[in-house]
């Protein structure tokens, strides 16, 4: 599925790249008014992708999201790390990267690994690339989406949404990406992540809510329709992890 449209106005809490930081997810949800099972009487969670890898508890994150999606209490879009898992499950040996090997080994060590793999495959195979909520007023896409890409389902659009617009490398080897949000002028409010930022700044009807939870930053949520953000320190840092 490339795009999923949901007319429901919410309210929603869109959560940035979790990357296996389950403790931070629990604390963030508690601050947002969710109970210990990550349930809220009136709000739903939306995950911006990259549920797994790099952080300490990818399996716990997967179990929670599988349950919440099954209960109709959460939505998710595919991130590039999730897509790597999806590709590996489809037989792509070259996708065993980005910290995926450790995640795979941890899942294999679970006593219920067989049924769990089935649930993980379903979670990622049915995840949309783009999620449009509140009759299109709110759009969630992992690395963002330009207005001209709405409705497009070609490979280049998919690459942009999952990886951003990569324009080269810095002298230190860091991936450089074009700041597409600086030119965005659309009516839909776009929430994205993928590239860690110092703080979640709303500009041009967009907001990046990835604050590098896996590398000692914050896990952040955007509340909709309030358009305010809330963050908690992740309490975890993976040293020298690539972007």
164-198 pLDDT, tens digit per residue, is 987 777 787 777 788 999 999 999 999 999 999 99
Q: Is 179 within the bounds of a domain?
A: yes
Distances (CA, A) of 226 to 29, 76, 145: 16, 20, 22
Please report whether residue 183 resides in a domain. Answer: yes
What is the span of the domain harbouring residue 58? 3-233
- 243 assigned to some structural domain: no
Please count the structural domains in the chain.
Answer: 1
**Position 73 in a domain:** yes
The verdict on residue 239 lying in a domain is no
In a domain, 169, yes or no: yes
pLDDT digits (tens, 9 = 90+) for 41-82: 999 999 999 999 999 999 999 999 999 999 999 999 999 999
How far lies 55's CA from each of 15, 38, 76, 103, 165, in Å?
A: 15, 19, 18, 9, 25
Q: The domain that contains 72 carries what CATH number?
A: 3.60.21.10
pTM: 0.93
Task: Look at residue 126 and give its three-state secondary structure.
Answer: coil
**Nearest 5°: CA angle at 141, between 157 and 95?**
70
**Does a structural domain hold residue 17?**
yes
Q: Is residue 241 part of a domain?
A: no
């Amino acid at each position: 599925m490339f795009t999923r449209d949901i007319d429901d106005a919410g309210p929603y809490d869109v959560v940035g790249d979790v990357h296996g930081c389950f403790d931070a997810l629990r604390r963030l949800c508690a601050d947002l008014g969710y109970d210990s099972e990550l349930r809220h009487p009136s709000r739903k969670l939306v995950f911006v992708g990259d549920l797994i890898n790099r952080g300490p508890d990818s399996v716990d994150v997967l179990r929670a999201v599988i349950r919440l999606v099954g209960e109709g209490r959460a939505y998710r879009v595919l991130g590039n790390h999730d897509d790597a898992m999806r590709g590996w499950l489809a037989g792509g040996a070259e996708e065993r990267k980005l910290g995926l090997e450790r995640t795979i080994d941890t899942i294999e060590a679970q006593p219920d690994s067989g049924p769990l793999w089935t649930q993980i495959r379903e979670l990622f195979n049915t995840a949309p690339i783009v999620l449009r909520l509140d009759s299109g007023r709110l759009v969630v896409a992992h690395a963002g989406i330009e207005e001209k890409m709405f409705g497009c389902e070609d490979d280049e659009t998919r690459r942009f949404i999952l990886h951003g617009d990569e324009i080269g490398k810095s002298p230190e080897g860091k991936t450089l990406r074009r700041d597409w949000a600086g030119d965005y002028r659309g009516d839909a409010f776009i929430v994205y992540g993928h590239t860690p930022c110092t703080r979640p700044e709303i500009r041009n009807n967009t907001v990046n809510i990835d604050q590098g939870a896996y590398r000692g930053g914050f896990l952040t949520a955007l509340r909709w329709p309030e358009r305010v953000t809330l963050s908690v320190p992740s309490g975890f840092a993976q040293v020298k992890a690539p972007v």
